[in-house]
Amino acid sequence: MLLLDRLVASAPSRVVNVSGLLYVLSRGGMRWDDLQTERRYTAMRAYARSKLANILFTRGLARRVEPAGVTANALHPGPVRSRLGMDGDVMGVMGFGYRLFRPLQISPASGARTSIFLATDPSVEKETGGYWVHCRRGHMSRRAQDDGAAERLWTESERLLASAGFSAPELHARSSTG
């Protein structure tokens, strides 16, 4: 939101958010009664919900900034070979799984392809609110397409920011005049 004025002034401009396929594991969708995952925490549930939140946020942002010439899209980069799970940061079965599947993972450069495509390719200049995989529109689950959940996440995020002392710029007024 702090970049919004610059994005609008630079329009056409693009916002690209990295999500991930594991958002589909967010059974039950967002936990509105525990959005910060302070209760019943498990790493995989928190990760899956954070990836769903990335998609919902992107869709909410896309609707708000489209009139101002700004697009917003989310993507799945693929199973990227990072250091995640290699330095003892993921333990137990998950850590074993990361090591087991490491040979199947793609390089960081390959994982960046869809991000770079969405940020630069003229063919997607006006595409907004999508979820992309391998430089193509990907399938979104019903949870990820839930406009009500996207709006609620936006509202809850603004509320959480305000409770932490941050004021959110009024996006509706800015985007309609941009």
Please give the pLDDT value at position 40: 83
Tokens read off for 23: 């958002």
Question: What number is the average pLDDT over the span 14-21?
Answer: 95
* Catalytic machinery residues: 47
Q: SS3 of 66, please?
A: helix
* Model confidence band, residue 173 (pLDDT cutoffs 50, 70, 90): very low
Residue 90 has pLDDT above 70, yes or no: no
Q: Show me where the domains of the chain are located.
A: 16-77+112-167
Can you give the pLDDT at residue 136? 97
Asked if the model's pLDDT at residue 141 lies above 90, the reply is yes
Burial (CB count within 10 angstroms: exposed 0-12, middle 13-18, buried 19+), residue 13? middle
Residue 174 pLDDT > 60: no
176, pLDDT greater than 80: no
At 175 the pLDDT is 39
Answer yes or no: CATH 3.40.50.720 is held by domain 16-77+112-167: yes
Give the Å distances, CA to CA, from 25 to 48, 94, 119, 125, 140: 6, 15, 27, 30, 13
**Is residue 78 pLDDT above 90, yes or no?**
no
Choose the weakest-confidence range: 13-17, 29-33, 119-123: 29-33
The residue among 89 and 145 whose pLDDT is bigger is 145
pLDDT recorded at residue 165:
87
User: Looking at the predicted structure, is the pLDDT value of residue 86 above 90?
Assistant: no
The strand order across the sheet containing 70-76 reads 13-18, 70-76, 131-133, 136-137
